[in-house]
């Protein structure tokens, strides 16, 4: 179809996720046609280096033939199998087994769904089943972080703490609470790692005391807060929060939808601090974005408590038509082969190079903070380095940055006008990381020198 026709149909009919509808109608879509490795081509033939792995998901890069073949083979042989009524596909069983073998600690039970949002929502339901099963149904409150993101279902959007997801949506729900995020660059105390960690533990203890220990079921967090602005907590934070949850008698849920599958280096970010959550959510890198799939990892203890306290013949009423979809599962297996066959290792090497390149950016007068965890990076822009003043929202930096990125053939994420997010595919070569960093540096120089921006610094 001709580009103009596609643009018109898009404007008239396609509602884009998390978009400003009016702005989108004015700006029109950027329509992508193909991809190979870390590169995308749009309908005009323009080449873009994808510094964001689509939406932090295409970890293996585009056009992986082994993944395409696995999907094609499964689709031709058995495109669908329900998991209801005791049925299953070979691919789903095999994937569950391989994931359980790789999972931290005793996270041996796996529930497949379609993506990250319904993985989080499933956990929220599993928490209810668990608390009822153990005879503590009043434990219904959950606590998240003030910059946390946990998806876009009704309940998940309330656990998410970003304003755009709460606006006009009547969330958070009465049982959802938030404590301040561990945010080293904007910590209000001395900014020392130990203080940041102690403050988070104290905030959790205080919130649990406020709501009543007998009423709190769980604490949710991302090991690195992604959509909140790529905020990397100090080393030791995750383990300290895990310990605090155990002491407080509440479940610890790690949302590894972004951090899972090598994004921060290891297969799961929890491994870095030998943390074993009670439940863990994944999606994105699980299939590298080649098909929708998410999963909940559940500890033996949570699983057995629900199993052993449910009468025989009574089903646990949670599931979807596409739970454990065989094509997604076959893709998951092929992608797991890639991680094990060198993709994780390549991501670690590329991530080291990314860190060495990006840290030099922190000298720029417009760059307040550079934070990196593997192939995940956040660059926080400030108009004054001493006071750490954020850019004035009226400058509309997100839009300007995105426009310059497109012009220069670089995809990244511009969050809330002051943070640039990078999450390159793990398959990137050193040369591609260099090119990404060169392009980004040029864009930051250019934006800092725009007349309306520089006059307000």
- The residue from 70, 92, 244, 283 that contacts ligand PMP (CB under 6 A) is 283
Using CB under 6 A as the binding rule, whether residue 222 contacts ligand PMP is answered as yes
Report the residue number, 116 or 233, with the smaller CB distance to ligand PMP.
Answer: 116
- The residue from 39, 149, 237, 297 that contacts ligand PMP (CB under 6 A) is 149
Burial class (CB in 10 A: 0-12, 13-18, 19+), 66: middle
Q: How far apart are CA 31 and CA 21, in angstroms?
A: 17
Report the residue number, 223 or 234, with the smaller CB distance to ligand PMP.
Answer: 223
CB 284 → ligand PMP: shortest distance, Å? 6
Q: Count residues near ligand PMP (CB under 6 A).
A: 14
Report the residue number, 257 or 306, with the smaller CB distance to ligand PMP.
Answer: 257
Using CB under 6 A as the binding rule, whether residue 288 contacts ligand PMP is answered as no
Q: Which residue has the tokens 């309908």?
A: 43
Using CB under 6 A as the binding rule, whether residue 343 contacts ligand PMP is answered as no
User: For the window 237-256, what string marks contact with ligand PMP as x by the rule CB under 6 A?
Assistant: ------------------x-
Q: How far apart are CA 154 and CA 444, in angstroms?
A: 37
Using CB under 6 A as the binding rule, whether residue 257 contacts ligand PMP is answered as yes
Report the residue number, 259 or 383, with the smaller CB distance to ligand PMP.
Answer: 259
Burial class (CB in 10 A: 0-12, 13-18, 19+), 410: buried
Q: How far apart are CA 401 and CA 440, in angstroms?
A: 10
Using CB under 6 A as the binding rule, whether residue 227 contacts ligand PMP is answered as yes
Burial class (CB in 10 A: 0-12, 13-18, 19+), 210: exposed
Sites for ligand PMP among residues 371-410 (CB under 6 A): none
CB 56 → ligand PMP: shortest distance, Å? 6
* 3-state SS, residue 171: coil
C-beta neighbour count of 42 within 10 angstroms: 17
Stretch that binds ligand PMP, among 143-151, 262-270, 354-362, 430-438 (CB under 6 A): 143-151
- The residue from 250, 258, 422, 426 that contacts ligand PMP (CB under 6 A) is 258
Report the residue number, 283 or 453, with the smaller CB distance to ligand PMP.
Answer: 283
Using CB under 6 A as the binding rule, whether residue 83 contacts ligand PMP is answered as no
Q: Nearest residue to ligand PMP, using CB?
A: 116
341 touches 330 (CB < 8 A):
no
Report the residue number, 48 or 257, with the smaller CB distance to ligand PMP.
Answer: 257
Which residues, in sequence order, are CB contacts of 156 under 8 Å at separation 6+?
A: 117, 120, 121, 124, 150
Sites for ligand PMP among residues 107-136 (CB under 6 A): 115-117, 120
- The residue from 150, 177, 325, 357 that contacts ligand PMP (CB under 6 A) is 150
Report the residue number, 226 or 391, with the smaller CB distance to ligand PMP.
Answer: 226
* 3-state SS, residue 272: helix
Q: How far apart are CA 298 and CA 103, in angstroms?
A: 10
Q: How far apart are CA 321 and CA 27, in angstroms?
A: 36
- Of the candidates 447, 382, 376, which has an alpha carbon nearest to the alpha carbon of residue 419? 382
Strand bridging mode 419-422 / 413-415: antiparallel
199: left (phi over 0), alpha (psi -120 to 50) or beta: alpha
Two tokens, residue 59: 């970890």
Bridge partners for 173 per DSSP: none
Report the residue number, 52 or 366, with the smaller CB distance to ligand PMP.
Answer: 52
Report the residue number, 83 or 116, with the smaller CB distance to ligand PMP.
Answer: 116
CB 119 → ligand PMP: shortest distance, Å? 7
Bridge partners for 297 per DSSP: 110, 280
Report the residue number, 131 or 225, with the smaller CB distance to ligand PMP.
Answer: 225
Using CB under 6 A as the binding rule, whether residue 172 contacts ligand PMP is answered as no
Residues of this chain that bind ligand PMP (CB under 6 A): 115-117, 120, 149-151, 222, 226-227, 255, 257-258, 283
């Amino acid at each position: 179809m001709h580009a103009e026709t596609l643009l018109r149909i898009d404007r008239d009919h396609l509602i884009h996720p998390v978009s400003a509808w009016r702005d989108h109608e004015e700006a029109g879509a950027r329509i992508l046609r193909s991809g190979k490795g870390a590169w995308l081509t749009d309908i005009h033939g323009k080449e873009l280096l994808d510094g964001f792995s689509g939406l932090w998901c295409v970890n293996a890069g585009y056009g992986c033939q082994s993944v395409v073949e696995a999907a094609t083979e499964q689709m031709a042989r058995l495109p669908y199998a329900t998991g209801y009524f005791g049925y299953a596909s070979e691919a789903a069983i095999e994937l569950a087994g391989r994931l359980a073998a790789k999972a931290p600690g005793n996270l041996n039970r796996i529930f497949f769904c379609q993506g990250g949002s319904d993985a989080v929502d499933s956990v929220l339901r599993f928490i209810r089943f668990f608390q009822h099963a153990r005879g503590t149904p009043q434990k219904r409150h959950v606590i998240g972080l003030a910059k946390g993101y946990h998806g876009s279902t009704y309940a998940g959007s309330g656990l998410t703490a970003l304003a755009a997801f709460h606006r006009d949506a009547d969330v958070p729900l009465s049982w959802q609470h938030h404590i301040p995020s561990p945010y080293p660059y904007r910590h209000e105390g001395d900014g020392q790692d130990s203080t940041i960690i102690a403050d988070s533990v104290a905030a959790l203890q205080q919130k649990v005391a406020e709501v009543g220990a007998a009423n709190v079921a769980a604490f949710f967090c991302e090991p690195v807060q992604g959509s909140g602005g790529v905020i990397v907590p100090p080393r030791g934070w995750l383990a300290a929060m895990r310990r605090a949850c155990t002491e407080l008698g509440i479940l610890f849920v790690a949302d590894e939808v972004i951090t899972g599958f090598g994004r921060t280096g290891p297969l799961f970010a929890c491994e870095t601090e030998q943390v074993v959550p009670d439940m863990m959510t994944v999606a994105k890198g699980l299939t590298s974005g080649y098909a929708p799939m998410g999963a909940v990892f559940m500890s033996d203890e949570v699983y057995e408590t629900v199993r052993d306290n449910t009468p025989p013949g009574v089903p646990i009423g949670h599931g979807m038509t596409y739970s454990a979809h065989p094509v997604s599962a076959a893709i998951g297996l092929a992608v797991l082969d890639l991680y094990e066959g060198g993709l994780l290792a390549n991501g670690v090497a590329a991530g080291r190079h990314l860190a060495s390149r990006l840290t030099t950016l922190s000298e720029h007068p417009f760059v307040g903070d550079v934070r990196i965890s593997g192939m995940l990076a956040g660059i926080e822009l400030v108009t004054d380095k001493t006071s750490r003043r954020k850019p004035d929202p009226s400058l509309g930096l997100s839009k300007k940055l995105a426009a310059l990125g497109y012009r220069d053939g670089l995809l990244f994420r511009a969050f809330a006008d002051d943070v640039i997010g990078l999450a390159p595919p793990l398959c990137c070569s050193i040369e591609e990381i260099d090119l990404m960093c060169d392009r980004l540096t040029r864009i930051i120089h250019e934006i800092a020198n725009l007349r309306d921006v520089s006059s307000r610094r």
